[in-house]
A and B are shown apart, each in its own frame.
Chain A
Amino acid sequence: MASMAMGIRRVGLPRLLLHLSVLLIVILWLVPTAGILITSIRDRDQITTSGWWTAFSSSTQTQAARLGAPSAAQQQGSNYVISGNVFEDGVEGKVREFGIRIADPREFEAGETADLGEGETLVINEDGTYIHSKTGPFDGERGRRVYLAVATPPVFTTENYESVLTSQGIGQAFVNSLTVAVPSTIIPILISAFAAYALSWMEFPGRALLIALVVGLIVVPLQMSLIPLLRLYNEVGSLLGVPSRSFVGIWLAHAAFGMPLAIYLLRNYIAGLPKEIIESARVDGASDFEIFMKIVLPLSFPALASFAIFQFLWTWNDLLVAMVFLGTSRDQVVLTGALNALLGSMGGNWEILAASAFITIIVPVLVFFALQRYLVRGLLAGSVKGG
């Protein structure tokens, strides 16, 4: 105690408060994701009967059961006794309390002898075994109905994931998302890097205007492009006799939509490379193509990585572009689209929604944690420098 008090005094109350408030904010920020993650591995019956925050303690549910029929009674001295187990085969759980009226299923503790009147007694033990006895013969045809408060131990399962990956089409959607995101990320890099080099190290009329154009295009809302492009795609599709919604179409669209930011980020970086390196290469007789491939491209790796992460996150997480340029059929729908469709059709089935959501977010989150350094660098270059 004394040492702890010393510790607090050394750290100081304001500092302790600082640590606690940051901890609180972090928890607040993590709780929503934790809810989905925990729910995705819970048993579906438990999801609907108890909150995910109780997932690690056993949940208590009220169940109804029927005792053995009077015909099964055995005479023991003057008493008639029915015994057995309230749990059917394979059901796990512990009886906490029991009762004989639905209004009060927790009238008696498990193991306690309940006096039901007229010489009738009932004991239900934790494991579900019961002894129902009466001083005279039981009447009626059917056994007595009892109500039980049953504590079920937490059940964790991978069933939800198996189910969404196969029967809900999330597995295929995952592959579709990769099919969209990977080419959409890599193809624009080389194209924009060449453009950025031209805008940084080549002198030509109209250069300042082009830079201004690129900066302006960064903020143009995607919505401005959708209607004419949809019409264009339909026309091209019918002209060439190919479906207007295809992976090729969305690759080009994503590449183009990412282009302004890519050129801008790369130009900022490439223009900042030391002048001496490029000029000495020129003096040595290297062509612009060679300078670009051998000097500029390798040196620009950090900027290329920043943009690639942006573009990957953006294309993986995109819903709007996919809804317009891709179909909704199983072989084209991406994860975000599939998840959106499940929200409509599987409204309350949280075991399916949670597992699907987790599969949707896991790839970008892993990319985020692995390559955070480059992402932050890109963000700083993109917004602090140029605005």
Chain B
Amino acid sequence: MASQMISAIGVVVAGVFACALYYWLSDKLLQVIFPVSDSNIQVASRNLNRRSLVRPWLFLGPALMLLGVYLIYPVIATFILSFYDRSGANFVGLANYRWAFYDAGFRQSIFNNLLWLAVVPAVCTFFGLVIAVLTDRIWWGNIAKSLIFMPMAISFVGASVIWKFIYEYRGGNETQIGLLNAIVQFFGGDPQVWIALPFWNNFFLMVILIWIQTGFAMVILSAALRGIPEETIEAAVIDGANGWQIFWKIMVPQIWGTIAVVWTTITILVLKVFDIVLTMTNGQWDTMVLANLMFDWMFRGGGDSGRSAVIALVLMAAVTPIMIWNIRQANRETEGH
């Protein structure tokens, strides 16, 4: 164990050192190849130009290489693989897409993903906004916020264990040790195996992600609320608006852009939800979602790269509008600089 830690730290030191060495050496090399001396002004300025032409690519090189190998090449390869059979060797045209269209499991996953998309971003944003407004008004608001924000540091797997314990079911006359069933029993209801109730179990899984992500929405929205000019609220108060009206008619419209950002950020996260479903149900009892279906097909019976590629492409298609919107937004900002 100790030796493994030491070698990991060794890797960190060596890696950082190697990176620094690369940038330093490449910079030095550039100066050797394109020397700038005082004797010949023309050559010197030409070499200076050449240097500044090459240098950005030396700085960008390692990053672009990683991006190329791990993100750009795979996106293209996944697209191509979706037209090939399970081994990736034989071209099968649109067969994988046709399979997806008629497959019951795929349709179930699409349905569940849509359900997640409809519920989680909306609930997180709403709760986040409400909690942000409430906590901004009390002296211990920052402590409250930090505690509600805390689940964001917990892994989806850890959160799943935490919530599985809440949903725990004990059969027969045994004492219920799951909090939810104990509460249900206390009010005279019958304990249930919550995560095995088709359709409704989706919501019990969503609760976990809502628990994790509400803090994120709260933090972002709370910062936006603080940016609202005091005068607009004061003016509304003078005009006799009540708290409810101020919230909906004055505050919400001014932070509309931030609400959209929070909503889309959580939407992207929800599209890729994987760990929670894997650890809670592994897709049983009609809870399968696209990311888990894709993972299943990647390894099921030796793996079917064609079908899982199609499922990955569906996810990609779903984020594409958000991606285009983000790029436009960023372009506008860079031009503004």
Contact = CB atoms under 8 A, between A and B. Distances in A.
Q: Do A and B bind each other?
A: yes
Interface of A: 18-19, 21-23, 25-26, 29-33, 35-36, 39, 47-53, 171-172, 175-176, 178-179, 182-183, 186-188, 190-192, 194-195, 197-199, 202-204, 207-208, 210-232, 247, 251-253, 255-257, 259-260, 263, 271, 287-289, 292, 313, 316-320, 323-324, 331, 335-336, 339-340, 343, 350, 353-354, 356-357, 360-361, 364-365, 367-369, 372, 376, 379-380, 383-387
The 7 closest A-B pairs by CB, nearest first: A256-B70, A317-B155, A368-B153, A228-B77, A195-B63, A198-B59, A225-B74
Nearest to B221: A384
B325 A387 contact: yes
Given A32-B211, A195-B60, A183 B74 contact: no
Interface centre among B16, B67, B279 (most CB of A within 10 A): B67
A320 B274 contact: yes
B162 A33 contact: yes
Contact of A379 (B216, B272, B279, B327): B216
B258 to A, nearest CB: 6
Chain B interface secondary structure, helix, strand, loop or mixed?
A: helix
Nearest to B161: A357
A319 B156 contact: yes
Contacts of A223: 272, 291, 294, 311-312, 315-316
Interface in B216-269: 216, 219-220, 223-224, 258, 260-262, 264-265, 268
18 contacts: A22-B141, A26-B144, A32-B163, A172-B1, A202-B55, A218-B326, A221-B291, A223-B291, A223-B315, A227-B308, A253-B70, A287-B27, A316-B155, A317-B155, A317-B156, A364-B153, A380-B223, A387-B330
Interface string B102-123: 0000000000000000000000
A219 B66 CA distance: 16
Given A182-B9, A212-B330, A228-B81, A364 B220 contact: no
B11 A251 contact: yes
A361 B12 contact: no
B305 A231 contact: yes
A361 B154 CA distance: 5
Contacts of B300: none
Contacts of B176: 51
Contacts of B129: none
Contacts of A387: 260-261, 264, 325-326, 329-330
Contacts of B73: 228
Nearest to A181: B8
B44 interface: no
Interface stretch (B90-98, B164-172, B197-205): B164-172
Contact of A320 (B5, B147, B160, B295): B295
B285 to A, nearest CB: 15
A213 B28 CA distance: 29
A259 B295 contact: no
A373 B279 CA distance: 31
A202 B52 contact: yes
A215 B274 CA distance: 23
B71 interface: yes
B157 A179 contact: no
A247 B5 CA distance: 12
A317 B154 contact: yes
Contacts of B161: 36, 339, 343, 353-354, 356-357
B59 A202 contact: yes
A156 to B, nearest CB: 17
B319 A343 contact: no
Contacts of A214: 67
Nearest to B27: A289
Interface string B32-54: 00000000000000000000110
A29 B148 contact: yes
A197 B311 CA distance: 37
Nearest to B75: A224
A368 B268 CA distance: 23
A194 B150 contact: no
Contact of B165 (A36, A208, A335): A36
A379 B219 contact: yes
A220 B71 contact: yes
A50 B137 contact: no
Contacts of B100: none
A369 B156 CA distance: 18
B220 A380 contact: yes
A124 to B, nearest CB: 24
A215 B149 CA distance: 26
Contacts of B258: 384
